[in-house]
Structure 1
């Protein structure tokens, strides 16, 4: 009997593979699996991206978890000073190929441009990074000028806050498990308040939702 070998790889390596076009699966803690559909993030921004994140942006913006740069690329094309941050070197390369600025890094472990930005984006559920939305928003607050805004994509009303342990699989390669949170529109006000933000607006487009949070004065 042959035992299949499972190779453990880093989350960064798995995301690099996914953005390079290799099939990647998300393994949930309840045993469910689903494909990580990075192809949507590699397309130009759609109508709902524009309505939720782009149309009203005229100031300096940092995109946290930018992926291959569809949002920051669109902002850069409009001449808006912007920066993408992502753990994946391949995502950063693709963002730069769009003509946008991007750096490889982890918002939890290090900051890029403290106090320099008017706006931050947490699209595509990136409020879940690290499984601790309050800590994540504290890090984002450090990036923003006083009165700065963060636009957070959230789940539908009634979800609350759900945190679970996930893994990624590429072929026979698995990542260690990591924490990820899903935050509903009903819970973002409390999370924002704990991190020093107030809700200015909640938007909906095409079944997607985003909350605009304003950084309170120190």
Structure 2
């Protein structure tokens, strides 16, 4: 991969070398977008011959808005306390609480956690792979917005999510539009003004691939499509 330069500093990485977590480091475009009230970032991959050719969009404004009716409907397919993994400003935590459920969000972004806490929402600045409260007792573990990509290893992430659930608990996994997609790569967030994050490990997984991973963990799987989005519901 060609090194990326920002402000005279050269940043080079491959998928196997990255250790940054979701857009951290560099110029922190994700945190910048959160602080200014939103914006659309580009997600570029290190395995594309011309960086940017396969860039996808990340609409940070949607994370700052209220949960949609479709999102609330998917959440309602679960019961019990909710753990929202990679919660951002915690719109799904708010939705769960508004539905009368106990909920907790976790995220590694200081800006996201600060925004959530400023609204009185219960959020911890923590990775899903860190020790977490009430492990093995959660009724729902939520991975909205493509967060199945966290860490660049969907199999490890879903295995961890299963550990966090109580027996009969259900994991919500939002998946890629391509049902068979299962790719792992180093990614970088890019702000329209040019600010770039450090490279971080990420993955994209379609619903058939996610269902196979969950099935290999011994989970019961169903797929739900709503409002142009697809979710795998995996029950422990």
Q: Same fold by TM (over 0.5)?
A: yes
Q: Alignment partner for residue 153 of structure 1, among 169, 174, 194?
A: 174
How does the TM-score come out when normalised to structure 1?
0.85
- Structure 1: which 5+ runs fail to align? none
Q: Alignment partner for residue 164 of structure 1, among 166, 182, 185?
A: 185
Contact 1:129 1:136 survives alignment (8 Å)? yes
Quote how far apart the aligned CAs of 1:66 are: 0.6
Alpha-carbon distance in structure 1 between the residues aligned to 2:152 and 2:235: 22
Quote how far apart the aligned CAs of 1:184 are: 0.8
How does the TM-score come out when normalised to structure 2?
0.79
Structure 1 residue 192 and structure 2 residue 209: aligned? no
Structure 1 residue 18 and structure 2 residue 33: aligned? yes
1:6 corresponds in structure 2 to 9
1:181 corresponds in structure 2 to 203
Structure 1 window deviating more from structure 2 (168-177 vs 145-154): it is 168-177
Q: Can you list the C-alpha shifts for 1:64-85, whole angstroms capped at 9, x where unaligned?
A: 0111111111111233110001
Alpha-carbon distance in structure 2 between the residues aligned to 1:7 and 1:18: 23
Structure 1 residue 84 and structure 2 residue 105: aligned? yes
- Structure 2: which 5+ runs fail to align? 1-5, 12-19
Alpha-carbon distance in structure 2 between the residues aligned to 1:153 and 1:79: 23
1:211 corresponds in structure 2 to 232
Alpha-carbon distance in structure 2 between the residues aligned to 1:140 and 1:12: 23
Q: Alignment partner for residue 134 of structure 2, among 113, 116, 124?
A: 113
Count of aligned pairs: 211
Quote how far apart the aligned CAs of 1:17 are: 2.2
